[in-house]
Amino acid sequence: MRIAPLALAATLALPTLAQAADAGPISAARLSADVKVLADSKLAGRSPGGPGEAATLAYIVSQFKAAGLKPAGDKGGWTQAVPLIRFTVAADPKFSLTAGGKTQALAETQQIMAWTQRPTDRVAIENAPLVFVGYGVTAPERGWDDFKGVDLKGKIAVILINDPDFEAQAGEPVAGKFGGKAATYYGRWIYKFEEAARRGALGALIVHETAGAAYPWSTVVASNGESFDVVRPDPAAIHPLLQGWIQRDIAVDLFKAAGLDFEAQKTAARTAGFRPVPLIGASFSAELGVRTARLMSHNVLAQIPGGKRPGESVMFGAHWDAFGIGPADATGDTVRHGAIDDGMGVAGVLEIARAFAHGPRPDRTVVFGVWTAEERGLLGSEYYAQHPTFPLATTAGNLTLDVVQTAGAAHDVVLVGAGQDSLEADLAKAAARQGRSITPDPHPEKALFYRADHFSVAKRGVPTILIMGMAAGHDLVKGGREAGDRWVNDYTTRCYHQVCDNWSPDWDLTGAAQDIDLLYVVGRDLANSTRWPDWNAASEFKPIRAHTKALRK
Ligand SMILES: [Zn+2]
């Protein structure tokens, strides 16, 4: 699409920061200036397809152009059109469970949250049988298959949250097989719905447990029956007709009526020999109206073509979208500015692009993806991964910034997804050159590694590094870990996805510039090398990458 030039860009002036030092070519003042524009109320909280999209894209494109980059989008342009579809469950959906000869209506938001991601205007399920499929995992590299060929056609799969290792006791054969408490992709609700669809299930219901999900029932309800997807040629391939969650006590009663003990079944599901258990005498019915709406949004894609091996690439990414307009805060502001999440990441990608543009031409092509609809389910990056400008098999690595801390210089950088791939060693080396060190994300059970845009290409095999400044407190030069934790707590409780996530002249972007410089250095060295980083042996993504090895020299 063609984009009108934006007045905002022309009037950009570098704000003076209270305190900030640059790191290598990364300028703290320019980071601040970019975020100030992106967080401006004129961009209306940057919702995908919303009133601020055109101006947001125009600003990002203007900065890539000014730095001298080349476009890498559709038909030689700067953007990639991303067709999205929004699903809204109409008021008063009806759900019921029959078990032990009794039929019980399930109240939406109280006992069940369920929706569809099939393009349909009505879902009707009548007395479908239910089958408990344990954790719903197929992991050949771990010798694991919860389904054992069970026929799920016309049936509802009832699935446990997290992976079989999450509650394993020491000495159980499963202990350690799925990385202990640390989350794996197999523990994620998205994986479970997709796998149930691949196994032919009519519907999939996950049993909500707060510890395993890492969030309370209220978070499940917060979706408000609204969900998004990219427009897909075959949505049925990865979306069952109905997908959702039920509360744990509903599952306990359901199992009891079928003559089963929920906890005993959970324990049985922690063995590789587990076989699906039909819930005898139980069935599930649902009737809901669905409204679907198409909207068009866009990724921004820029490149610096490689001088020696342009067919090989290294990719940087961040997401431009935020949460649009929401409820007013105490000051009456309704714009969810998305300054730190992920205005800071976009600013970081722009600074890295400028650094490459001013340096010698890299051997490999360097690609910059600024994604839409991350907050709607990693959709812009997912669409790119389905329709890549540069083949993923020859994308050497993806380096992603999602939330960068604004609390000042730090002795360390927090790495989400530590232990996954060989890029971690490159990051450690680059950090050492800055006199800093890596701190692995202390809460891998929160599954942050599966919740940012790098994941769209990671699950297709591209090795990645994710910097996510809110994963844990940094060891700040001023105030140490305690001050770092205080920043994270304050940001997550007060500002994350809220109106309060706004630009501030009081930020100290010294640490942000250091983190962004780290990613620049790792990416630059990779772009000037012939190396193909790989996943570690224990990673769930290693087999996928191995599959495409023949395409790399
Ligand atoms: Zn984000």
Domain extent listing, the chain: 22-84+296-551, 87-292
β-bridge mates for residue 279, sequence order: none
Q: What pLDDT, on the 0 to 100 scale, is given for residue 15?
A: 56
What does the buried/exposed string (b/e) look like for 419-434 if buried means 16 or more CB atoms within 10 Å of the residue's CB?
Answer: ebbebbebbbebbeeb
How many A from CA of 148 to the centre of ligand 1? 37
The pLDDT of residue 10 is 41
Q: Cα of 321 to ligand 1 centre, how many Å?
A: 8
Query: Tens of pLDDT along the chain (553 residues)?
Result: 444 444 444 445 565 555 578 889 999 999 999 999 999 999 999 999 999 999 999 999 999 999 999 999 999 999 999 999 999 999 999 999 999 999 999 999 999 999 999 999 999 999 999 999 999 999 988 899 999 999 999 999 999 999 999 999 888 888 888 988 888 899 999 999 999 999 999 999 999 999 999 888 988 887 777 899 999 999 999 999 999 999 999 999 999 999 999 999 999 999 999 999 999 999 999 999 999 999 999 999 999 999 999 999 999 999 999 999 988 899 999 999 999 999 999 999 999 999 999 999 999 999 999 999 999 999 999 999 999 999 999 999 999 999 999 999 999 999 999 999 999 999 999 999 999 999 999 988 888 999 999 999 999 999 999 999 999 999 999 999 999 999 999 999 899 989 999 999 999 999 999 999 999 999 999 999 999 999 998 888 998 999 999 889 7
Tokens of 237: 């391939």
- How remote is the CA of residue 140 from the centroid of ligand 1, in Å? 32
22-84+296-551 CATH: 3.40.630.10
pLDDT of residue 2: 42
> How many angstroms is it from 346 CA to the middle of ligand 1?
10
For residue 402, the CA-to-ligand 1 centroid distance in Å is 5
What is the three-state SS of 167-217?
A: CCCCCCCCCCCCCCCCCCHHHCHHHHHHHHHHCCCCEEEEEECHHHHCCCH
Longest dimension (CA), the chain: 74
Residue 472 confidence (pLDDT):
93
Instruction: Report which DSSP code applies to 414.
Output: E
Tell me, what DSSP letter sits at residue 17? P
Backbone torsions φ then ψ of 286, nearest 5 degrees? -150, 145
Helical packing angle, 510-527 and 28-38, nearest 10°: 100
**Cα 380 from Cα 298, distance rounded (Å):** 7
Q: Could you tell me the distance, in angstroms and rounded to a whole number, from the CA of residue 449 to the centre of ligand 1?
A: 12
Q: Tell how far the Cα of 428 is from the centroid of ligand 1, in angstroms.
A: 24
What spacing in Å lies between the alpha carbon of 291 and ligand 1's midpoint? 27
pLDDT at 14: 61
87-292 maps to CATH 3.50.30.30: yes
The DSSP secondary-structure symbol of 3 reads -
Task: Say how many Å lie between the CA of residue 342 and the centre of ligand 1.
Answer: 5
Q: 533 is written with which tokens?
A: 């980083």
546 residue type, one letter: A
Nearest to 149 by CA among 161, 175, 131, 162: 131
Ligand 1 midpoint to CA 356 (Å): 24
Give the model's pLDDT for residue 176: 82
How far apart, in whole angstroms, are the C-alpha atoms of residue 188 and residue 459? Answer: 13
Report the separation in Å between the CA atom of 174 and the middle of ligand 1, taken as the mean of its atom positions.
Answer: 33
Judged on CB neighbours under 10 Å (0-12, 13-18, 19+), 311 is exposed
What does the alpha-carbon distance between residue 76 and residue 214 come to, in Å, rounded to a whole number?
43
For residue 188, how far is its CA from the centre of ligand 1 (angstroms)?
A: 18
The amino acid present at 395, given as its one-letter code, is: T
Q: Which two tokens stand for residue 148?
A: 């054992």
pTM of the model: 0.89
Ligand 1 centre from 230 Cα, in Å? 18
CA of 403 to the centre of ligand 1 (A): 6
The angle subtended at Cα 20 by Cα 300 and Cα 400, nearest 5°, is 30
Q: Do domains 22-84+296-551 and 87-292 have the same CATH topology?
A: no
Centroid of ligand 1 to alpha carbon of 257 (angstroms): 43
CA distance 539 to 448: 15
Please give the DSSP secondary-structure letter assigned to residue 306. Answer: -
**Structure confidence at residue 5 (pLDDT):** 42
Q: Name residue 94's amino acid.
A: K
Q: How far is the CA of 415 from the centre of ligand 1 (A)?
A: 16
Q: What is the pLDDT of residue 132?
A: 98
Q: What is the pLDDT of residue 21?
A: 83
- In the reported structure, the alpha carbon of residue 306 is separated from the centroid of ligand 1 by a whole-number distance in angstroms of 29
Among 356, 354, 367, smallest CA distance to 316 is for 367
Q: How many CB atoms lie within 10 A of CB 89?
A: 22
Burial of 458 (0-12, 13-18, 19+ CB in 10 A): buried
Q: Residue 98's beta-bridge partner residues?
A: 103, 283
What is the CA(374)–ligand 1 centre distance, in A?
Answer: 7
Coil, helix or strand at residue 547: helix
Tell how far the Cα of 491 is from the centroid of ligand 1, in angstroms: 13
Q: 264 C-alpha to center of ligand 1: Å? A: 39
pLDDT score at 9:
45
Residue 4: the pLDDT is 45
Q: How far is the CA of 341 from the centre of ligand 1 (A)?
A: 5
Percent helix, strand, coil in the chain, to 5, is 30, 25, 40
